[in-house]
């Protein structure tokens, strides 16, 4: 049935045979195609982002304030509860802020991306759009929220001792790496959830557990030195530490932290991209 008539060039027999001659060219073609297609469909991404932001805030009186209120309330509650438990952390609200806002971006993006292909079924089944557009749009929407809430929460925390410091100029780099990391995870989850719809539920639970496993509401140093290595198994730990260093401690992160963050971000992005692209064509049949 699977008849192939695509003009296959007669290959010269070599021994030993050349290792996997086709695979690289396939991936190069996919990358090239994305490089052409994504700029072409940039207006579509733009539109998805703008429209989502507009719809989210157009009929609520407080508008953007709601995005701030949620982390603010969380921080208020946690500050109160944990100031009783961990007396060691000074400026605890700022510590919380430095970890929680980036985490909100990560979990928000991944959870939304899980549904992004299914939610845009109507579009995908009617017109050709590179499917990468949908996760990218979700990430950008969350990125806008991240930047806005970071900026405004920082100002709100001013009375509690939030002060800008010179190392904060590296914050864009940290955010960029974190976005790459998030995008990779989002692509994996988006692919998995399109094929297995129950993944979305698992992801929510998994992120709850991951949240507590990452030093966001507590400090890794508060644990005995013998168990410190466990945190190093957590890929999110390195990014959160970067944010802690830059925002809370106001110190320059170590070079090794940057290197690890870069490696993890690129690995996540690479794996996510590979998984997403290899399944992209089949997605339309599973909607």
Partner 1 sequence: MPYSSRKKTRWYSDSESHGPGSRNRASSGVPLIELRDVSLRFINYADKQYSFKRAVLDLVLRRESPVPVSEFWALRNINLRINHGERVGIVGGNGAGKSTLLRLLARIYPPSSGTVEVRGNVAPLIEMGAGFNAELSGFDNILYNGAMLGFTRPQMLSKVEGIHEFTGLREFADLPLKYYSSGMYMRLAFAIATEIDPEILIIDEALGVGDAAFQERAKDRIFKLLGRSHAVILVSHDMNSLRQLCTRGLWLRQGQLVADGPIETIIDQYLAWTHAAKAS
Among the listed ranges 121-129, 139-147, 174-182, 250-258, the one in contact with partner 1 (CB under 8 A) is: 121-129
Shortest Å distance, C-beta 25 to partner 1: 10
Residues 6+ apart with CB under 8 A from 96: 75, 78, 79, 216, 217
Among the listed ranges 44-52, 79-87, 156-164, 182-190, the one in contact with partner 1 (CB under 8 A) is: 44-52
The site map against partner 1 for 169-208 (x = CB under 8 A) is: --------------------------xxxxx--x------
Q: What is the CA radius of gyration of the chain?
A: 22
> Residue 59's Cα: distance from chain center in Å?
28
CB–CB of 272/185 below 8 Å? yes
Whole-number Å distance between alpha carbons of 62 and 70: 13
Among the listed ranges 32-40, 141-149, 224-232, 244-252, the one in contact with partner 1 (CB under 8 A) is: 32-40
Whose Cβ is closer to partner 1: residue 100's or residue 132's?
Answer: 132
Whole-number Å distance between alpha carbons of 179 and 269: 9
Among the listed ranges 123-131, 139-147, 243-251, 257-265, the one in contact with partner 1 (CB under 8 A) is: 123-131
Among 66, 80, 128, 212, binds partner 1 (CB under 8 A): 128
Among 63, 68, 125, 239, binds partner 1 (CB under 8 A): 125
Whose Cβ is closer to partner 1: residue 163's or residue 201's?
Answer: 201
Shortest Å distance, C-beta 277 to partner 1: 10
Write b or e for each residue in 154-182: b if 16 or more Cβ atoms lie within 10 A of its Cβ, otherwise e.
bebbeeeebeeeebeeebeebbebbbbbb
Among 38, 115, 123, 274, binds partner 1 (CB under 8 A): 123
Q: Report how many residues bind partner 1 under the rule CB under 8 A.
A: 38
* 5 lies in the binding site for partner 1 (CB under 8 A): yes
Tokens 């990468």, residue located: 132
* 26 lies in the binding site for partner 1 (CB under 8 A): yes
* 41 lies in the binding site for partner 1 (CB under 8 A): yes
Whole-number Å distance between alpha carbons of 162 and 247: 9
Among 16, 19, 24, 43, binds partner 1 (CB under 8 A): 43
* 116 lies in the binding site for partner 1 (CB under 8 A): no
Whose Cβ is closer to partner 1: residue 90's or residue 281's?
Answer: 281
Shortest Å distance, C-beta 128 to partner 1: 4
Binding site for partner 1 (CB under 8 A): 1-6, 22, 26, 36-37, 40-44, 46-47, 51, 55, 122-129, 195-199, 202, 281-282, 284-286
């Amino acid at each position: 049935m699977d008849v192939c008539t695509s003009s296959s060039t007669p290959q010269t027999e070599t021994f030993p045979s050349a290792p996997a001659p086709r695979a690289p060219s396939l991936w190069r073609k996919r990358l090239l195609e994305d490089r052409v297609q994504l700029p072409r469909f940039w207006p579509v991404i733009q539109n998805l982002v703008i429209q989502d932001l507009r719809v989210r805030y157009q009929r609520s009186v407080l508008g953007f304030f709601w995005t701030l209120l949620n982390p603010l309330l969380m921080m208020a509650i946690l500050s109160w509860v944990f100031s009783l438990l961990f007396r060691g952390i000074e400026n605890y609200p700022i510590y919380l802020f430095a970890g929680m806002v980036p985490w909100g971006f990560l979990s928000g993006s991944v959870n939304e991306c899980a549904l992004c292909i299914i939610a845009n079924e109507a579009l995908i089944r009617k017109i050709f759009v590179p499917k990468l557009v949908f996760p990218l749009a979700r990430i950008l929407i969350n990125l806008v929220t991240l930047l806005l809430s970071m900026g405004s929460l920082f100002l709100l925390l001013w009375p509690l001792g939030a002060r800008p410091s010179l190392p904060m100029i590296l914050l864009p780099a940290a955010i960029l790496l974190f976005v790459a990391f998030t995008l990779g995870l989002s692509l994996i989850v988006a692919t998995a959830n399109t094929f297995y719809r129950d993944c979305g539920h698992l992801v929510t639970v998994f992120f709850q557990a991951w949240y507590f496993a990452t030093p966001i509401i507590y400090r890794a140093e508060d644990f005995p030195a013998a168990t410190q290595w466990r945190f190093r198994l957590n890929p999110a730990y390195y990014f959160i530490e970067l944010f802690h260093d830059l925002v809370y401690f106001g110190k320059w992160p170590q070079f090794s932290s940057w290197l690890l963050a870069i490696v993890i971000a690129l690995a996540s992005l690479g794996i996510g991209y590979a998984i997403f692209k290899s399944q992209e064509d089949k997605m339309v049949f599973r909607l």
